[in-house]
Amino acid sequence: MSLHEEVSALLRTVAAHVVLPRFRALAGHEIAIKSAGEIVTIADREAELRLHDGLAALGVGARIVGEEAAERDPALLDHVGNGLVWLIDPLDGTANFAAGREPFGMMIALVEDGAPLAGWMLDPLSGRLCHAARGEGATCDGVPVHTRPTGASRPRAALGTHFLAPDRRAQVHARADHDLEIVAVPRCAAESYPRLALGTDDIALFQRILPWDHAAGALFLTEAGGHITHWDRSPYRAGGSGVGVLAAASETQWERAADILLGSVADIELDSQTA
């Protein structure tokens, strides 16, 4: 099998045996607080262990950094932008999952010196698998994907401002309300990026940029024809020093969104929730 097929099979196996059996079946003691505003479940931890072991067995020679491992040992993030690294988000949208609602997903990315080489995003419930490889395009369930606008009179924008201070959040939304149609944020990057590529949303703004949350999606979006940068307009890089992320289904829409939004977020000093 190709690397794409092996990683895809690994994700589907772990979803079937670890994640889905616990959806709407978690006991109270299987959910814990890991940091302010963040929870973790037994499904996150067990899925990451299974994915870690599966990736290690592929023999690619990459270091492996998972979300839960980095929570226990933050030093794992110190050099995540250097060399060849597997990034694992075993259960993206954990709060949704723990509440028994959609969406949630599983993500894996292979990055080299911070630049994504390949990415996988699986929706365990529907089975939808989004994949991209650098220079080879993006696919959804094996079908090539090319971004397309929603066709809304005002671009549809999902603004991830929930980690901003209330006054900053109000400032961003005040700038956006006249020119953009603000839509609900799915609280799941594994859903946000497919929405941009598949014609559901036009624009997405993220404050937190933990590498496992964005590497796979950023590559999928750009390979499909979209555009993404940090808030300072520098290219997206996993583990880099850039702040925030602005993503859009096309460069034209990105430019429009940047004119509206970036002036109100560029001077925001992010707190310890951002990495």
Could you list the residues known to form a binding site for Mg(2+), using ranges. Answer: 67, 89, 91-92, 213
Q: CA-to-CA distance for 213 and 99, rounded, in angstroms?
A: 20
Q: How many CA atoms lie within 13 A of 26 on its CB side?
A: 24
What token pair was written down for 193?
Answer: 């990026």
Contacts of 197 (CB under 8 A, 6+ apart): 130, 138, 140, 145, 147, 220, 221, 224, 225, 226, 249
The residue with tokens 């609280």 is: 187
- Whether the CB-CB separation of 226 and 249 falls below 8 Å is answered with yes
∠ CA 248-249-253, rounded to 5°: 65
Residue 139 backbone class (left: φ over 0; alpha: ψ -120 to 50; beta: rest): beta
Q: What's the CA gap between 99 and 106, in Å, rounded?
A: 17
Please state the residue numbers annotated as binding site.
67, 89, 91-92, 213
- Residues with Cβ within 8 Å of 34's Cβ and at least 6 positions away in sequence, in order, are 40, 71
Which H or E run includes 176?
A: helix 166-177
